[in-house]
Amino acid sequence: MRIPRMLAIVLAGGAGSRLDALTDHRTKPAVRVAGNYRLIDVALSNLANSHVRDVWVVEQFLPHALNEHLSNGRPWDLDRTHAGLRILAPFTGGTGEGLPQGNSDSLWHFRRQIASFEPELVLVMSADHLFTLNLTDVVDTHRDAGADLTIVTTRHDGDASRYGVVKVGTKGVIEEFWYKPEEPPTDLVVTETFCFDGPALLTALEELGGEDGLDDYGEDLIPHFVENHTVVEHRLEGYWQDIGTLSAYWRAHMELLDGSGVDLDDPEWPIFTAPPQLVPARVGSSADVAESMLASGSVVKGVVRHSVIGPSVQVEEGAHLEDCVVLDGARIGAGVHLSGCIVDEGAQLEGPMEVRTRDCVTLINGAGEVVRTEQVG
């Protein structure tokens, strides 16, 4: 079968304001996940494992740490002479200038660049979701159905009102779409992974955008396709988590520790990254560690239970962590007892200090201050 000319666009420009201090100084796709990874690694690894070779990353908010991490695409074999990784940043002085105001508006701003690629298919993904998926299967679904748009969907047992929701008819055809409905009619949600027919996407961007651009998928692009084109679903049966809130971020890590979360160690589907060049984790004679993940460069002398410890973190003797996520370079001193907490990069915590929450997650910022507590749904 002839391989179609395919372009992947990873949207990585969001501010991620619902993650509070975690995204005050970095874009959400650059947030640390599972100790050694960044959130964007998952999307890029799904593409790499699916043998997609033309990948464009759309940036906007605080891209510096993300650019440093991307390393010209080398960890994902995208540092190529032909094809490979391309960064799309906001610009002035031509068609598409200015700052995009939503995810479909990002596509509208770069419509001329997309058109110049002449894609037959355009894969569009958000960079802030945890899941593994062979995108070749999505393309097969799309082509077999003769679709103009294929939407990756999944069943969601939580609050579906945060997402796009669909109703599916015979042969996987999407019959109705609702964007963040107050009372979702179904539990079938949109994962923000799409496969568009290239010419159909470009035509829609021109027709819908006008002079003012677009907004979010759910406001314009997806309703347009559902009403005027053939739209089908590709069902994701495995794990999927939108890392949109503190509670979702914390819960994804707890599920990872429990073995019910995203599979990051499948040898058939590796997650690639540009890891920090640090020595292996060290566990002292006074340490008590169980059901935890320790990243490179960390030194643990205290108690760590059911927690994720990031690179270069120090947990001193007399410190006690349970159900926590601790990010790069933080130091947890003697007499600090934390449960159900996220500790941001560089925090230097000294005892006596005790933060224990029930059915909530607490964020401690890089200055060591408790800045937010959020209910875990």
- Structural domain spans, the chain: 6-258, 282-375
d(CA 114, CA 7): 8
pLDDT recorded at residue 283: 98
Q: How far apart are the first and last CA of the chain?
A: 46
pLDDT recorded at residue 91: 86
CATH superfamily of this structure's domain 6-258: Spore Coat Polysaccharide Biosynthesis Protein SpsA; Chain A (3.90.550.10)
Pairing mode, strands 370-375 and 360-364: antiparallel
- Kindly state the tokens that stand for 320: 């006690």
Identify which of 250, 245, 369, 241 has the alpha carbon closest to the alpha carbon of residue 308: 250
Rg of the Cα trace of the chain? 21
Identify the helix (H) or strand (E) that includes residue 371. strand 370-375
With tokens 């990010």, the residue in question is: 327
Query: pTM here?
Result: 0.95
Distances (CA, A) of 198 to 4, 45, 135, 215, 347: 11, 23, 16, 19, 46
| Residue-by-residue DSSP string for 269-294 | SPPP------PPPEE-TT-EEES-EE
d(CA 90, CA 257): 38
Mean pLDDT of successive 10-residue segments in the chain (377 residues)? Answer: 89 82 88 95 97 95 88 92 91 84 93 97 96 97 97 94 95 96 96 98 94 90 97 97 93 96 94 91 98 97 98 98 97 98 97 91 96 88
Across 347-373, b (16+ Cβ under 10 Å) vs e yields bebeeebebebeebbbbbbbebeeebe
CATH superfamily of this structure's domain 282-375: Hexapeptide repeat proteins (2.160.10.10)
pLDDT recorded at residue 1: 62
Identify the helix (H) or strand (E) that includes residue 205. helix 198-209
Identify the helix (H) or strand (E) that includes residue 209. helix 198-209
pLDDT recorded at residue 2: 74
Identify which of 41, 25, 33, 108 has the alpha carbon closest to the alpha carbon of residue 74: 41
Find the length of the chain. Answer: 377
- Kindly state the tokens that stand for 368: 């060591």
pLDDT recorded at residue 331: 98
